[in-house]
């Protein structure tokens, strides 16, 4: 059923948030004690192969980020290597499991993977971002040792416009299940009616009977209140299932006075699903669920739970600097929390399904999600080899398997993610309509279309009309699995696409970098819901959203610096994020916070007085170290009505009002060392916020602060911020000292990240040069309790130590 956008889309949903696991059976994390070899091993799946000299490691694992940066590698994927790798793991299946099913579930393997059990191939998956599962049962030796082998072929390592990583870079699970069990991603929840008094909830469950007999079962649900812990709804239903078939059953129940999931209060109930056969429990799962309503209106924008809301979103890729694509949940939590504190309320999963941890955290933190399936359809996009938009591009990529796998890949994304409260829309593509790359249309010969086009209409290129047919097919797949959210896409060539059926196949339409089209297309297509699916950081771009009720939001490129899509060597990646590689907020993040945050904020950065007086940087770092008397520009990013600058306790420059044209208040003053402070004032001159800088001396000491004092998981991660300070403890932003980290105790160093985009050195050792006077150390527990001592040293500086306890709770 298509959500027909005549005037308004309203969707009501009870949504499930714990999706990392396959949602059925008895799962166990399957990450430990794998063996790995980076080589195209002949017969790597065979049980008699000697792998005793292979490297032993735990998942998740990304071998690409362990490689050496080299200018002969593709800039698009960050000047890092791909290759072919093999993973092998032996494990025993108890004799008592005979008669049950055994599955392997991978959250993501990049890419072109093939899985073997005891030498037998059980499946291949070319897409590196999709979660998938295989049935191992026919080849399992119950009561004996078994061997699982995984070949990962990323030999075509210039296959993306950004960094991908290589290997089994997300979690793996081994799953035991009764022959009659809940299907993979087999629970689907939605609400048919939500009011303050009652939420009417429908739960659709798919039961897979893999036995050779019909089975009668009882399906039971319990919903537990997030505050009281009491059961607030329950339901039971008897069901007959046929042998070797899937059976779908639906149940409806009500929740009185529902606590809604919102940005401010992301309330999450607990849903227990239990399957009984002959009075015994044969399968069950427990998930968190949220209740909320979505409204999309072509004139009023977007409402969450009936509250009209501007979506203040960012696009993100899936890596984390020196960690590559194997990013621990704790790292994602710190990053997403920082973005939300900055005023961000939405994430676009650019341009592929991401780790389940990210969706779960968005559910828990109250962050909206635009989920996205593809960056390219039937034709490969340009992949830059020698720097962004430089040289001759390559054309490796996901288009090579789109025809064979797109239906399956898209469907699996919807099934996996459709129960997340945070997900509010499904994107079926990003910039697949970029003019002449490769699709073309005669409209490109027309003047004043405000689109970046090379050479006008190219009649020998694929016809743009093809976009409409593909979009219809993909949209139908989405609507066949979920009607509670709109289908969208991020259009790069909206003028060209308007001549096709592409936009009309969508429910809401994303515009990439074409704010000048908003008013015109709103008038020409009055039933179209329009938003910014990818945007620049300018004040003008934000005002196009803020000042137009019918534009419900924007997603800025990008929220976090990412590897790949690099410039000319040396360049690790794309540096337009609000957060850097290490997850620290950058000056432009403070600027955006002043525009987006509802809390009073102020920030000041500095740079030498520019020759062009009109130049107002939104990338000014908080440094107050210059030559005495030098003229310095101080820029203030604040949401206060006015700002007052204070230098060493005295007013410096005039009191200035907020500038709504630039979003920047500035002063030009001569430098004098000491304390520089800005005070934000409201319209009645009451102080609402402040921010201060101090002149620093030469580097004297290292300080280090862990985000946690205890790691409460045997594989948990602590994030330690290391800062260079002077003898007074003032941060030395201009420091570039080389820091060494030594660890004693049950933990290991995952990496040191200083966030310097041009540092192409070794990120696999325990030595790193700070950037802007700081870096972050990622420390992971190694499987036992105890005390971990971290020592940070640097030549000529006073060292520091950090102690962290590892517990098993």
Closest CA to 604 of 615, 620, 589: 620
- Rounded distance, CA 791 to CA 770, Å? 16
- Rounded distance, CA 463 to CA 460, Å? 8
Predicted pLDDT at 808: 81
CB-count burial class (<10 Å; 0-12, 13-18, 19+) for 577: buried
Kindly state the tokens that stand for 537. 């950081």
> How high does pLDDT run on average in the chain?
95
Least confident of 111-115, 340-344, 679-683, 713-717: 713-717
Kindly state the tokens that stand for 710. 């205890």
Kindly state the tokens that stand for 10. 């309203």
Handedness of CA 636, 638, 641, 644 (dihedral sign): negative
Percentage of residues of the chain with pLDDT beyond 90: 92
Told to judge if 431 belongs to the known catalytic residues of this protein, a careful annotator would answer yes
Among 66, 515, 534, 753, the one annotated catalytic:
534
Q: What's the Rg (C-alpha) of the chain? A: 27
- Rounded distance, CA 676 to CA 668, Å? 13
Closest CA to 113 of 94, 132, 92: 132
pLDDT of 12 above 80:
no
Q: Residue 305: CB partners within 8 Å, gap ≥ 6?
A: 260, 262, 292, 293
Q: How many CB atoms lie within 10 A of CB 94?
A: 10
Name the DSSP class of 392. P
Predicted pLDDT at 14: 45
Where does 130-180 have alpha helices with state H?
none
Give residue 94's pLDDT band: very low, low, confident or very high (50, 70, 90). very high
- Rounded distance, CA 779 to CA 716, Å? 8
Kindly state the tokens that stand for 712. 């409460």
User: Secondary structure of 701-742 in the HEC alphabet?
Assistant: EEEEEECCCEECCCCCEEEEEEEEECCCCCECCCCCCEEEEE
Q: Residue 133: CB partners within 8 Å, gap ≥ 6?
A: 22, 103, 104, 105, 106, 175, 184
* Triad 348, 350, 352: Cα angle to 5°: 115
Give residue 448's pLDDT band: very low, low, confident or very high (50, 70, 90). low
Q: Residue 654: CB partners within 8 Å, gap ≥ 6?
A: 667
Q: What is the side-by-side order of every strand in the sheet holding 631-638?
A: 602-608, 631-638, 665-670
Q: What is the mean pLDDT of residues 315-320?
A: 98
Given a contact cutoff of 8 angstroms between Cβ atoms, the answer to whether 543 and 516 are in contact is: no
* H or E element that contains 800: strand 800-806
Three-state DSSP class for 288?
Answer: strand
User: Secondary structure of 96-134 in the HEC alphabet?
Assistant: HHECEEEEEEECCCECCEEEEECCEEEEEECCCCCCEEE
Predicted pLDDT at 386: 81
Q: What is the mean pLDDT of residues 354-381?
A: 97
- State the first-to-last Cα distance of the chain, in angstroms, to the nearest integer: 46
Predicted pLDDT at 1: 31
- Rounded distance, CA 594 to CA 167, Å? 40
Give residue 578's pLDDT band: very low, low, confident or very high (50, 70, 90). very high
Kindly state the tokens that stand for 170. 């997300």
- Rounded distance, CA 119 to CA 110, Å? 21
Kindly state the tokens that stand for 425. 């829309």
Distances (CA, A) of 631 to 611, 622, 663: 11, 16, 22
* Triad 388, 391, 396: Cα angle to 5°: 75
Three-state DSSP class for 362?
Answer: helix
Distances (CA, A) of 51 to 35, 248, 589: 7, 44, 48
Orientation angle between helical segments 402-417 and 466-481, nearest 10 degrees: 30
Q: How many CB atoms lie within 10 A of CB 92?
A: 12
- Rounded distance, CA 398 to CA 494, Å? 23
**Counts for the chain of helices (H) and strands (E), in that order:** 8, 47
CB-count burial class (<10 Å; 0-12, 13-18, 19+) for 460: exposed
Q: What is the mean pLDDT of residues 775-792?
A: 97
Residue given tokens 């290759």 in the structure block: 83
User: Count of alpha carbons within 13 Å of 329, Cβ hemisphere only?
Assistant: 12
Closest CA to 350 of 376, 323, 371, 324: 371
- Rounded distance, CA 274 to CA 24, Å? 10
Least confident of 72-76, 485-489, 544-548: 72-76
Closest CA to 58 of 38, 84, 30: 30
Predicted pLDDT at 390: 81
Kindly state the tokens that stand for 650. 């005295």
- Rounded distance, CA 803 to CA 710, Å? 9
Given a contact cutoff of 8 angstroms between Cβ atoms, the answer to whether 168 and 60 are in contact is: yes
Q: How many CB atoms lie within 10 A of CB 6?
A: 7
Kindly state the tokens that stand for 378. 């039937």
* Triad 167, 172, 175: Cα angle to 5°: 150
- Rounded distance, CA 273 to CA 289, Å? 12
User: Count of alpha carbons within 13 Å of 688, Cβ hemisphere only?
Assistant: 19
Task: Output the CA torsion 316→320→321→326 (10° steps).
Answer: -130
Given a contact cutoff of 8 angstroms between Cβ atoms, the answer to whether 41 and 47 are in contact is: no
Bridge partner list, 87:
36, 150
Told to judge if 673 belongs to the known catalytic residues of this protein, a careful annotator would answer no
pLDDT of 447 above 90:
no
| Model confidence, pTM | 0.96
Among 107, 431, 677, 753, the one annotated catalytic:
431
Handedness of CA 706, 711, 712, 715 (dihedral sign): positive
The residue count of the chain comes to: 809
Q: What is the pLDDT of residues 14-72, one digit of tens each?
A: 444 344 578 899 999 999 999 999 999 999 999 999 999 999 999 999 999 999 999 99
Given a contact cutoff of 8 angstroms between Cβ atoms, the answer to whether 192 and 200 are in contact is: yes
Handedness of CA 638, 643, 644, 645 (dihedral sign): positive
Separation of CA 483 from chain center: 24
Least confident of 119-123, 268-272, 654-658: 268-272
């Amino acid at each position: 059923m298509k959500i027909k956008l005549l005037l308004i889309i309203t969707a009501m949903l009870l949504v499930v948030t714990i999706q990392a696991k396959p949602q059925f059976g008895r799962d166990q994390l399957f990450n430990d004690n794998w063996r790995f070899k980076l080589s195209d091993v002949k017969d790597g799946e065979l049980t008699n192969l000697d792998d005793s000299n292979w490297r032993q490691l735990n998942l998740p694992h990304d071998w690409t980020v362990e490689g050496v940066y080299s200018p002969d590698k593709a800039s698009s994927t960050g000047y890092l290597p791909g290759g072919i790798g093999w993973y092998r793991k032996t494990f025993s299946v108890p004799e008592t499991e005979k008669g049950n099913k055994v599955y392997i579930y991978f959250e993501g393997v990049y890419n072109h993977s093939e899985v073997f059990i005891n030498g037998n191939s059980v499946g291949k998956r070319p897409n590196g971002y999709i979660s998938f599962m295989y049935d191992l049962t026919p080849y399992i030796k119950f009561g004996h040792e078994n061997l699982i082998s995984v070949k990962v072929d990323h030999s075509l390592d210039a296959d993306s416009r950004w960094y991908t990583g290589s290997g089994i870079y997300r979690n793996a699970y081994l799953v035991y299940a009764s022959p009659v069990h809940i299907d993979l991603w087999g629970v689907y929840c939605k609400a048919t009616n939500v009011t303050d008094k009652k939420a009417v909830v429908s739960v659709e469950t798919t039961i897979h009977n893999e036995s050779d007999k019909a089975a009668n079962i009882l399906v039971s649900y319990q919903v537990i209140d997030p505050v009281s812990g009491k059961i607030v709804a329950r339901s039971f239903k008897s069901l007959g299932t046929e042998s070797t078939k899937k059976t779908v059953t639906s149940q409806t129940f009500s929740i009185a006075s529902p606590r809604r999931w919102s940005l401010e209060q992301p309330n999450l109930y607990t849903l227990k699903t239990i399957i009984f056969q002959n009075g015994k429990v044969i399968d069950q799962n427990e998930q968190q669920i949220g209740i909320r309503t979505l409204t999309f209106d072509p004139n009023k924008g977007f409402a969450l739970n009936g509250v009209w809301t501007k979506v203040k979103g960012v696009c993100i890729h899936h890596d984390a600097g020196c960690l590559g694509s194997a990013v621990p949940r704790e790292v994602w939590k710190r990053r997403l929390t920082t973005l939300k504190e900055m005023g961000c309320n939405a994430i676009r999963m650019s341009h592929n399904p991401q780790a389940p941890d990210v969706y779960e955290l968005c559910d828990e933190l109250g962050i909206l999600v635009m989920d996205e399936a593809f960056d390219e359809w039937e034709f490969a996009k340009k992949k830059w080899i020698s720097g962004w938009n430089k040289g001759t591009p390559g054309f490796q990529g996901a288009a090579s398997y789109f025809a064979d796998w797109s239906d399956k890949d898209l469907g699996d994304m919807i099934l996996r993610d459709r129960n997340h409260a945070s997900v509010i829309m499904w994107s079926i593509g990003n910039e697949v309509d970029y003019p002449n790359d490769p699709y073309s249309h005669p409209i490109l010969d027309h003047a004043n279309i405000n689109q970046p086009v090379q050479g006008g209409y190219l009649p020998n290129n694929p016809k743009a009309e093809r976009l409409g047919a593909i979009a219809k097919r993909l949209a139908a797949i989405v609507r066949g699995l979920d009607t509670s959210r709109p289908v969208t896409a991020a259009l790069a060539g909206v003028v060209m696409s308007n001549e096709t059926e592409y936009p009309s196949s969508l429910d809401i339409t994303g515009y990439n970098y074409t704010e000048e089209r908003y008013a015109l297309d709103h008038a020409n297509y009055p039933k179209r819901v329009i938003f910014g699916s990818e945007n620049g950081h300018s004040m003008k771009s934000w005002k196009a959203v803020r000042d137009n009720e019918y534009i419900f939001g924007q997603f800025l490129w990008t929220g976090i610096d990412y590897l790949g899509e690099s410039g000319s060597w040396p360049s690790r990646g794309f540096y337009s994020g609000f957060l850097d590689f290490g997850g620290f907020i950058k000056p432009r993040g403070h600027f955006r916070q002043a525009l987006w945050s509802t809390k009073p904020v102020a920030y000041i950065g500095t740079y030498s007085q520019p020759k062009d007086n009109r130049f107002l940087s939104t990338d000014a770092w908080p440094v107050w170290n210059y030559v005495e008397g030098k003229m310095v520009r101080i820029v203030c990013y604040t949401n206060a009505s006015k700002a007052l600058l204070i230098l060493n306790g005295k007013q410096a420059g005039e009191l200035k009002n907020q500038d709504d044209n630039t979003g920047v208040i500035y002063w030009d003053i001569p430098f004098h060392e000491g304390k520089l402070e800005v005070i934000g004032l409201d319209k009645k001159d009451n102080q609402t916020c402040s921010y201060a800088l101090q002149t620093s001396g030469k580097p004297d000491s290292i300080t280090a602060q862990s985000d946690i004092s205890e790691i409460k998981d045997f594989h948990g991660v602590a994030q330690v911020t290391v800062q260079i300070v002077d003898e007074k403890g003032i941060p030395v932003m201009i420091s570039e000292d080389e820091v060494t980290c030594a660890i004693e105790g049950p933990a290991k160093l995952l990496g040191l990240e200083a966030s310097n985009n041009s540092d192409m050195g070794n990120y696999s050792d325990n030595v790193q040069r700070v950037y802007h006077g700081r870096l972050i150390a990622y420390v992971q527990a190694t499987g036992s309790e105890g005390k971990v001592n971290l020592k940070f040293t640097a030549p000529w500086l006073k060292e520091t130590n950090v102690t962290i306890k590892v517990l098993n709770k």
